[in-house]
Structure 1
Amino acid sequence: MKGLNLLERAFRLEELERAPWVPFVGVHGGRLIGADAESYLKDAGLLKAGIEKSIELYRPDGIPVVFDLQVEAEILGCKLVWSKENPPAVVSHPLHEGTQLSKLKLPELTDGRIPVVLEATRAVKNAHPDLAVYGLITGPFTLALHLLGTEIFMKLFEDPDYVAELMDFCTDVAIRYSEMLLDAGCDVIAVVDPMTSQIDPMSFETFVSPYVSRIFDFVRSKQRYSSFFVCGHAQQNIEVMCDCRPDNISIDENIPLDFVKEIALTKGISFGGNLKLTSVLLLGNELDSKKEAVSCLDLGGTKGFILAPGCDLPMDTPVQNLQAVTELVYSEYARQATREMEHAGSLEPMSLDGHFTPEKVVVDIITLDSASCAPCQYMVEAVKHAASDFGEQVEVIEHKIKNIDGIRMMMALGVQNVPTTCVNGKVTFISQIPPKSAIVEVIEKEMQA
């Protein structure tokens, strides 16, 4: 069975002999060929080489060529900070800094890194016509936040007409870029909109649904398939996501797979996910990876389910862990053997002795990595901005669960979702970017305690 055909059947909710496997290889592809993230994301030849190596090692049914939610933002005037290990991060917001929305123009074929992405896409599709090639675009709400910054959350209530105008423009950008990717050979357009996890279903239906539905309708008109990616604690929005009529929704480990399966299949939508990125694929071993894969495969089933990590793979994800997942995908014997194994190894929570002192308020932020995760980035920025008013009386510490100590701190604080902010050990803001006033209020309350 060819990968593209298998995925098409999964999108159509046909009963399959096995679930399709789509590793979201982002800058991990650079690691496979010895290239840093910045070089990798700026060079079509390196991208092609990284994808080729990924195909060789992981035998995917589908794969994204580029996983970078800053391509469009960079073209539209956002400044980026580049990293050797992660995709770049947006560090400026043109609309917040005075640029008029009317001055922004839709991207052209020659703008920014679009030529690099399209060249790599054509090369991969020409070399692998039976592989499902994913083209990733930044979802309109996340792009709007890149352009305006966290001010968008206030404007949802204070100036909804402006937000609607902004969302309309960002949707036009998404459709324009989607068309370029489809013309280059993409079989699936994935709308990656992580910042939608920050709003409630009513706001989603008002400020997201009408716009992303236009994108999915456009892709459908081109007789291709679409997927709607979200990460973080977005469980409240799964039903409204399905109502936007994508062919697939894809989620991360923050959302129970069985919950998504029930809603998606009821709505006639395929679903994908949700292999644990850091605690298992990055920091675990081969047995951990096999156990996680079997759990997802058994829960997802063989109707409409696509096995995938919860987001793009961390650059240093061990090759052997991903190959262990590949083995499980293709071997029923390996799946059965793994079911009979006991989970190997466990972590102890971090000791909090000496972590908190009477002299200051300690704010711990549990993130995936604010350098590569947009919701994490904006939560860290919001907290640091609010805490700066208090000087040395407040200490803000980010704990990235890309490392073992980060996971141990997450366990010690009783945190279940990322990003989450804890103030003096109390879980305070869960997967929601709080306004400055709310952060200040909590800090002041702790100072007075």
Structure 2
Amino acid sequence: MNSKQLVLDALYNKGVERAPWVPFVGCHAASLIGVSAEDFFKSSDNIVKGVLKAYELYRPDGLPALFDLQVEAEAMGCELKYAETNPPSVTTHPLEQGKKLEDLKIPGEQDGRFPVVLDATRRICKELGDKIAIYGLITGPFTLALHLMGTDIFYEMIDEPENVHKLMQFCKKVCINTSRMYLDAGVDIIAVVDPMTSQISPDNFAEFVSPYATAIFDYVKSRDKGCSFFVCGNAKNNIEEMCKCKPHNVSIDENIPLEYVKEVCQKYGVSFGGNIKLTVTMLFGTPVDNINDAKNCMAIGGTKGYILSPGCDMPFATPVENVKAITSLVHGEVAEFLEYTNVLEGIEVKLPDYAKEKQVIIDVITLDSESCAPCQYMMEAVRAAAAGFGDKVRYIEHKVKQKEAVVCMLQLGVQNIPTICIDGVIKYVSIIPDVEQLKKSIQEAVDAKNL
């Protein structure tokens, strides 16, 4: 059985000889060819070179053509901030700036960076499409709606739900059209990546996401292609709702126990994928750490309907040897490695004595607000809520792509990201709070210190 068929069989919930290996190589591919993330995402030549290099080094069974959840938003007028070592992030929201929904158009092949992305996808499919499964990643409808409207969408869901439904209907059409473009370019699987759904309840998911996501998966199935529903963050409560949308596959990150996802997905006949740890294991770990993490995932996942992968887009600076170590495990070629060492050994972080500080200190534990949509919008909420308190309040982002931030996270007792702590107390876990609600929490902390 070749690699491509292995992925497709696992995706369609069939038994396979071994778990297929799909490293989600996005901006990490830029590091493999020695260019910045910005230069990578803007050049079809660089995208192709990076993906081919990842194929050569990591011997995967499948790869994404591109991992960039801002392509559609940029093509519809959102401004982006590009970075050296991260995917771009959305900085402006057209519907928040006065544009009307009817002013927006569904982007096509010639809009934004789609000419670059589709050219790269066609070339990748031509080069690798008979060897491995190629994923076309699209921005999920709820995350896309949030890019267009901003965090006001959370208020609108309560006060003006019909407006949100109209926006979601539009985003569904964008998603279907983007799927069409990727499928026409030759991809085997459409992955609907909707990280912001981790921020809503199962009831809100069922009302505002399910009808639109289901229609997208129905379209992909009508083209006789595979489909997957990606989520990151602490979306445990929404796994069942995701399965009810009838994708072939659900893919998750380290915030959600793999055992739980397996149990729910098997109930609905849906395959599942994930959840090698992105930072502690892939970015900071040793080859042995990566082998052990992957081995644990494979033991839980088994050989029916499971795809081994990282929980999301691999960090830019992920050591090549760490990824190769997972490859050696997958292919039964594990060699002897150096004795295990603690990757955080020697890293010291001293937390403030919060009670004695003359300010309220807000610690925000994120993956990286420049590359993670839930982290970005959580930081926006913190900035907005803290703005009126002047020097009474200080906020700090701890990006767990840095070892010191991981130590800080452990010392604070944080288990999921993104999380907000106020004066050392965990307050909001993987949920972006209403700005007024967050202001109230900050005010309580200010009053407690008599500031």
Task: Tell me the TM-score normalized by structure 1.
Answer: 0.97
Q: Using the alignment, how far apart are the partners of 1:352 and 1:358 within structure 2? A: 11
Distance across 1 between alignment mates of 2:119 and 2:432: 37
Query: What value does the CA root-mean-square deviation take over the aligned residues?
Result: 1.4
Matches within 5 A, 1:122-201: 122-128=122-128, 129-201=130-202
Mapping of residues 323-362 of structure 1, within 5 Å: 323-331=324-332, 334=334, 344-345=341-342, 347=344, 350-354=349-353, 357-362=356-361
1:96 counterpart SS class: helix
**How far does residue 344 in structure 1 lie from its aligned partner after superposition?**
3.1
1:125-163 alpha-carbon deviations (Å, 9 max, x no partner): 111122100000000000000000000001001011110
Task: Output the CA distance in 2 between the equivalents of 1:313 and 1:100.
Answer: 36
Q: Distance in 2 between matches of 1:122 and 1:209?
A: 30
1:287 is matched by which residue type in structure 2?
Answer: V
Q: 2:314 maps to which residue?
A: 313
1:297-327 deviations in whole A, cap 9, x for unaligned?
A: 1111111000000000110000000000000
Supply the distance in 2 between the matched residues of 1:169 and 1:3 (Cα, whole angstroms): 36
Q: CA deviation at 1:350?
A: 3.0
Tell me what 1:112 maps to. 112
Map of 2:82 onto structure 1: 82
| Stretches of structure 2 lacking an aligned partner (at least 5 in a row) | none
Specify whether residues 359 and 264 from structure 1 end up closer, same or farther in structure 2 by C-alpha distance, changes over 3 A only.
Answer: same
In structure 1, distance between residues paired with 2:352 and 2:138: 45
Q: 1:350 touches 1:411 (CA, 8 Å); kept in 2?
A: no
Q: Cα gap change, 1:77/1:357 in structure 2, threshold over 3 Å: closer, same or farther?
A: farther
Query: CA–CA distance in 2 between the matches of 1:389 and 1:342?
Result: 52
Other-structure match for 2:231: 230
Alignment of 1:36-435 (within 5 A): 36-128=36-128, 129-331=130-332, 334=334, 344-345=341-342, 347=344, 350-354=349-353, 357-435=356-434
Any idea what the Cα deviations from partners look like across 1:334-356, whole Å, max 9, x if unmatched?
A: 39x89xx9853263673225566
Instruction: Report if aligned partners of 2:325, 2:334 keep a CA contact under 8 Å in 1.
Output: no
Contact preservation (8 Å) 1:356, 1:362: no
Structure 2 equivalent of residue 436 of structure 1: 435
Equivalent residues of 1:19, 1:301 under 8 A apart: yes
Distance in 1, Cα, partners of 2:205 & 2:434: 19
Q: Deviations over 1:26-65 (max 9, x none)?
A: 0110100011001101111111100010000001111001
The DSSP-based 3-state class of the residue aligned with 1:72 is: helix
1:13 is displaced (CA, Å) by: 1.9
- Secondary structure of the 2:217 match is helix
What is the rounded CA distance, in whole Å, between the counterparts of 2:41 and 2:315 in structure 1? 14
After TM superposition, give the deviation of residue 437 of structure 1 in Å: 1.4
Query: What is the aligned-residue identity percentage?
Result: 51
Q: In structure 2, give the amino acid aligned to 1:345.
A: N
CA distance in 2, matches of 1:203, 1:311: 24
Question: In structure 1, how many angstroms separate the alpha carbons of the residues matched to 2:196 and 2:211?
Answer: 16
What is the TM-score of this pair, normalised by structure 2? 0.96
For 2:262 and 2:27, locate their aligned partners in 1 and report how far apart those are by CA, in whole Å: 29
Secondary structure in 1 aligned to 2:92?
coil
Contact 1:69 1:137 in 2 (8 A): yes
Mean CA deviation greater in 224-233 or 346-355 = 346-355
- Partner SS, residue 95 of structure 2: coil
Equivalent residue, structure 1, for 2:13: 13
1:374-412 residue CA offsets vs partner (Å, 9 max, x unmatched):
000000110111101001110000000001000000001
Most deviating of 406-415 and 126-135: 126-135
Deviation at 1:115, TM superposition (A): 1.1
